[in-house]
Structure 1
């Protein structure tokens, strides 16, 4: 298998969108432009279908995976290499689980579903250049899953009875040992409760669960807490009503607010939707780039992204906010 190639140049991208910046750089009600400065790029071999990605705690490395391979790469242009290729068969998720000492190697965990009918699901742990397999015990590993500082959290859609007998879709978050992540489930007003219609990501404020379908509702649940931050596209927005190709690809933390990418599967058009720290919808901006976010690290203002053109690229960005110039 060919390794992903890395290039050695920077690109500035100014996303033509309105966000909200305060003097300390946090999101507020002041208009500004999100500027992404490219700091790393890896060109994938062929047309690999990248299914997810993660940034390391120190921001010096990233993970990304396809249906049969997990790669690790420096975020500063070094060549990517496969992680535990002799053990990984069907990765369902991967994460950095600890911050190594200076000069030390990272510790990585991979949920591997194995070959259907032949292998049992397992966690593959990579540490000190050694790969060790641990039997998976917990929810169905194929459920949408993310990892926080404590461990893996899975989300499953459940249809619960609601008012007047109308089912209320809800996503339940549970840890690997079966204990609830939060005291209550996360309500997501989606048309059905199929777990494939749910995306999960991890951020500083907890686990973020989002619906892949209109109204693209989402909720950020903190570990052990009942109160959650939630958002959704306004009901009055008719853009997506009759447009089946539109899907949500996840919600991620952006400074003290949130950003959501909606993709038109019939074209290269993407909508970047911004929410404030309370989950209130603020702005939507259109870009005609086949772009998706894989992970963010707000403390370092670092973003890991995927772009598909005539090739597949994994991009690392650093973001800043640039105030709009006052009109004369």
Structure 2
């Protein structure tokens, strides 16, 4: 029982192990109560007790209970608004418990938890709590963490992050045993490279070099350089889904030579054979990579989305680098690349390219 939020009767309903319908109905009732309550009237101890109660619901094997609890967590963040800074550490710990799920809707829900938190809490503070899960034995969790970092960096200004520090923390996962993790790490390094100015860029190369030498990951530096040379960034859809720039197709599918070869693509497909002290080989490397892997969507659930590069027509930009976005805008902003010029533009053939609601 949590005064103002959960009555004794509702608590018993939520924890009824014999009847899953009672539990699913209880979660719906909980969402209704939370949407109607004046959160300022609930004492701080009650909110903390409520947050600490939610992991019990996330342990539920029933999908509706699990996904509904994530919706409750997102609703709580919205209700708390700026007061969320008192509880964000507890909320992050609860959300981390959900990582690694394979279902699209639930992955979207827990991505939204972190996205909402970073609207109020400095994103690096949130990432400092998340990044320890890169060592998780479940490769899906490691992949999710990399995509949370990527989504944050595609949303917020570079000054909000300790990018050199992130480079060294993420670099070992470029040589992970799992393809999807290597893919996510390589995409994240493309974002790091874009965000670092020339003075700080050596930290990125040093982090890669250290992994290549210490983990006996020969070919890693060439893969990172090849990924940089593509001049195409991952992006966020209007729904906040991370979409990768490097396209890896299913076996048997054909694509243009531009995407069909390269040291970076070869590394994603074969780099797992390189030994890595931080890779977890308890799982068979049976993942298949599709059009893009992302936290917000499982790629095997969606049709392949092609990204086409047109030389000399525009600039790569992250959402926070665009002061405005309209179909009639003629003046293009300058982006930063290693040589100080932009020679490529990404034309995206899919829906949700308008980034206004990410600004």
Relative to the length of structure 1, the TM-score reads 0.27
Please state which structure has a larger fraction of its residues in helix.
2
Q: Which has more radius of gyration?
A: 2
